[in-house]
Structure 1
């Protein structure tokens, strides 16, 4: 093989292919690679001839550059190479594909692909995601570089190493780009939700297949209920039920209300009985009622506990609670008797009973009160959460400031706001 610096796939397409004595063989139609870790080796070149298209094995490729492709065999010996079926055609399979840039939490497009010669052959080394890649494919790169030079500007390349690209699905319904040390699952759920929102249905499903159930639940919460429902419907019923169990009860109720009744009933049947009962209870509230915003995942303890006993209980119960900024105190009949903050609990003497340190003047909202009342109370009193009681003053849930934000600013609108 003759050495060369580099070449982009777009520069190879339709280039003349000659044999070892200079006879015309055909023109380049595509370039093939074998999927593998790192930088995959080019395993063949598709050559378009007058009456047929053949794939020439890389063993017979002597030169590969912007001007010409030459073979180390004569034209009469050119035949279709053996294919195993798992090869990727760079133009057909990869160009214009969407890829997920987990470093920038965005979706980008493959505009071109760079190949270079590395000792034992030609290898795919980089993805061009920039404007220059598009211009190159249009055949206008040289002219644009000339104009940019006259204006004292450069035309930078935006390349990403192929070593940071993962194929999420074998059929290429989605491609994941993992830049630097970033990994998709390590992103904040909000960023994952933004990425998923920019993808098509197949790509969304492929992304969620890479997430464990806990991260999938956290990501769904950051999305609109319509999209949540669409994603869950594309999963197996068992996995969808497992993810719903990991969501806050109010979030699970919201997405189930978006699903067809028979689908929702089937998923509830697959959920653990206790979680399903909580979700079903929340689904009974009308959208305009405060109860529709609340979660049943809170911590309520009897007033006879000491501060030390309460802290031990918090260690046991905290994983099941949405928030522990406030500890709610109830009597034997579950009536709301008082409330105290986590700070008040921590600074209390270990033997102090909750009844002695709790505040009995409690700001609450009724479960059937208008949602505007709950929003107004949290705003007015600058609360992180407000307890929700029924007609008998029994504690039935809490509404957190996060629930209020979701009610006032839906996820789609939040995505376009700049909080920096």
Structure 2
């Protein structure tokens, strides 16, 4: 007989609860835990056990166990306590149930950047309380649940084999069950915001549709916009249609206008109009302009988020503008010099900014060999220019040589090589 400090939820469930006189008080059905959202120096961020669902007299009831002790007999557990107090369900407000919300559910492995299934939950009892420390997503956890892991261990031992085991510490876990996730959102920052948008897009695509929108809603708007760009079209449409109108509009405003326009092309006209009316006027107008271009034209692919300057400005002026505005990286592929009528006059590269005297005027530095395309040209007209001149971005002008935007090389290759993420 051994008093345990670490134990597994799967072996705790179904155990009888004994008092100090070995009277059976009930049987454990589930465990309530609460996540502390405002931590002091002595408080763990791991979920803490605060109560139990206990089967008593043919019914499941909420209970608090005083002076809990778990004792191991072989592979079996015996749960002892000084006393058991039945309480109302409201006693555990803000808590969630481990078996109901975590066990057998999908979770996000933050470090592994993938979706995994919880086969068991490891817990620890210390002087400060009982806490969840890790989830078991390995084969051993599943066999333990079935009660056959010791059999397989003995079977493999003569051959030097081991049952694969994998634990993920709670700090590296993000739950996706809606019941649990609402509790997690009270934390100041979702762990999902630390995952690269491309990885998180892959994770969301692997989720069932019931989880995709709640997970997406937990992200901050900047990160959500980046993730939305990386999703396949069918997931983009599902999420935008599932979000509240205001939330969806806020995220679309953070996306490049050309990406937002591409997404809206796959929505019903009524939904598109609702979103455009909800968006800020400036962002809405940019997207409307792009939606007017026919599919397969340069204009349908270009971004209007560009940096323009006048010939009289200096390199120092440009560098200061970039420092203040902090534009997206794509906006820095090419910088454009225009006149008072927005007619394209020249192009500045990042190399120009780095190697030229800061006091030099742009008219002395800019490249006047524009290599521009018309906004109504077909997309195949741009491939030759990109390959011949090794350009990262190509300026797009209208019939009056006025600058409308640019097409970046990433979007060109995605479109021409058919690598755009589709349904």
Select 2:227's aligned residue among 219, 223, 228.
Answer: 219
**Alignment size in residue pairs:** 408
Give the equivalent residue in structure 2 for 1:69.
78
2:333 and 2:169 mapped to 1: Cα distance? 45
2:280 corresponds to which residue?
Answer: 272
1:38 aligns with 2:45: yes
User: Deviation of residue 141 (structure 1)?
Assistant: 0.3
CA contact (8 A) 1:384 1:401 kept: yes
Matched, 1:101 2:123: no
Q: Confirm whether residue 206 of structure 1 aligns to residue 220 of structure 2.
A: no
| Aligned residue runs from structure 1 range 384-395, under 5 A | 384-395=392-403
Distance 2:210 2:2 in 1: 42
Residue 399 of structure 1 corresponds to which residue in structure 2? 407
Where do 5+ consecutive residues of structure 1 fail to align? 414-420
Deviation, 1:298, is 1.3
Decide whether the 8 Å contact of 1:307 with 1:354 is kept in 2: yes
Per the alignment, residue 66 of structure 2 pairs with 59
- State the 1:128 CA deviation: 0.9
Over residues 135-171 of structure 1, what are the superposed CA-to-partner deviations in whole Å (9 max), with x where a residue is unaligned? 1112210121122322212235322333554667872
Q: Distance in 2 between matches of 1:39 and 1:357?
A: 58
CA, structure 1 residues 380+174, in 2 after alignment: closer, same or farther (shift >3 Å)? farther
CA distance in 1, matches of 2:314, 2:16: 85
Does the CA contact (< 8 Å) of 1:27 and 1:47 recur in 2? yes
Following TM superposition, by how much is the alpha carbon of 1:269 offset from its aligned partner in structure 2, in angstroms? 1.8
Contact 1:173 1:202 in 2 (8 A): no
Q: Tell me the TM-score normalised to structure 2 length.
A: 0.83
Q: 2: distance between equivalents of 1:44 and 1:315? A: 53
Alpha-carbon distance in structure 2 between the residues aligned to 1:167 and 1:351: 54
Judging changes above 3 Å, is the alpha-carbon distance between structure 1 residues 48 and 372 closer, same or farther for their aligned structure 2 residues? same
Q: Secondary structure at the match of 1:337?
A: strand
Matches within 5 A, 1:211-360: 211-315=219-323, 319=327, 322-350=330-358, 352-360=360-368
Structure 2 gaps, min length 5: 37-43
The answer (yes or no) to whether the contact 1:196–1:204 under 8 Å persists in 2 is yes
Give 1:345 deviation, angstroms: 4.3
Over aligned residue pairs, what C-alpha RMSD do you find?
Answer: 3.4
- Which segment is superposed worse, 274-283 or 153-162? 153-162
After superposition, give the CA deviation of every residue in 1:315-351 in whole Å (9 maximum; x if it has no partner).
Answer: 5566378422322233343332332323234434455
Distance 2:15 2:247 in 1: 50
Aligned to 1:368: 376
* Structure-2 residue corresponding to 1:416: none
Change (3 A) 1:3 1:388: same
SS at match of 2:157: helix
Report the 3-state secondary structure (helix = DSSP H, G, I; strand = E; otherwise coil) of the residue aligned with 1:397. Answer: strand
Change (3 A) 1:375 1:64: farther
Post-superposition offset of 1:398: 0.5
Whole-Å separation in 2 of the counterparts to 1:207 and 1:124? 22
Q: CA deviation at 1:392?
A: 2.8
Three-state SS of the structure 2 residue aligned to 1:319 is: coil
Query: How far 1:280 sits from its partner (Å)?
Result: 0.8
Q: Given the superposition, is the C-alpha separation of residues 54 and 325 from structure 1 closer, same or farther in structure 2, using an over 3 Å criterion?
A: closer
Task: Report the Cα distance in structure 2 between the residues aligned to 1:199 and 1:353, rounded to whole angstroms.
Answer: 53
Please give the secondary structure, in 1, of the residue aligned with 2:240.
Answer: helix
